[in-house]
Structure 1
């Protein structure tokens, strides 16, 4: 199956660079481009791509609204996966975008390999965040809670679920976690679904936030 992509950025050079990357990937095809948020929504609804890669700061409509309209809970079907691609290590719009249904957050300087991996992860139901910004993003989120504000209530995780939540917070995909814990990717997927239910979140980014808030960590055995 060929994965259909739409590239959204107000800078033509950025779109051109991403197109070169994906044109060299077997099984991926860029079917459209957009230079602003309004055009992005129109193009995505007309072409029905599998994945939309979108900047956050754009004319007419920002990326946050693009995510909400294409991938949010009220978005019409079919809903594409939306990956946020931004210049900034920490952007005040990124976290709301992820909470509204975006399937990943990458820095534009992340490099071709991670960009391609983000698309593959999104198609597999995973969420990929640039490793260099994961902890900074989560610290920004938890640091915005006012003193005395209660943490969101959540059902307790099992020991195994706690390990998996911690590995998700590190940016691990199902395959990565399966290899780390010597279990099958299918088992990881089942645990991830249970963690999402217990944490009351919609995606792996939500798991990462809750895991960071509650201090879940994974201790690797010495090799």
Structure 2
């Protein structure tokens, strides 16, 4: 292994001074995020036309995906129809890896459901979900209205149910879905970060990788190597 550059070494008192300076910036960043969240809560919403998706029990209207809850978060999983498990999307697999039963339970405590939509055939989606051992419900949008069309995956959308009516309140994509990727948030706390080539790192830091290129290993999404 090649020797990597490292941060300079200082005594504890200097380290604490510099850490305190950074903490001020981190707090400002957190407060700026609070301001954005407040603006997000004030967005208007748009009424959804009646839409049907296909789940375990067959076709159901979008309002039933809420499973009785008031709010719903939907992730659109990029799907390669007919491809084997190891050829499915590295990034979407990464985004789902942290959405375990505990996360879904905490969302439910705030009256929020979570589901995965994909344009793939239901039978293929169900087989992949079961292979990965994921608890979230999955639905096929292959025959759904254009309002559920995305750029083929990686989109996150939020909905509100008022009686039998459904409204879209928010959507995001690209780096906007990083809230689903705790590995990235934790890597950002480490000395070498994500080690990707877009990062502003000191000279000698490992940052040659393309964004997301390390989400797959030996021809499979990394999360699949935890499966039998």
Whether the TM-score (by the shorter chain) exceeds 0.5 is: no
Q: Which is richer in helix? A: 1
Q: Which is richer in strand? A: 2
Q: Which has the larger radius of gyration?
A: 2
Give TM-score scaled by structure 2 length.
0.23
- Higher RCO (CA < 8 A, seq sep 6+): 2
Give TM-score scaled by structure 1 length.
0.23
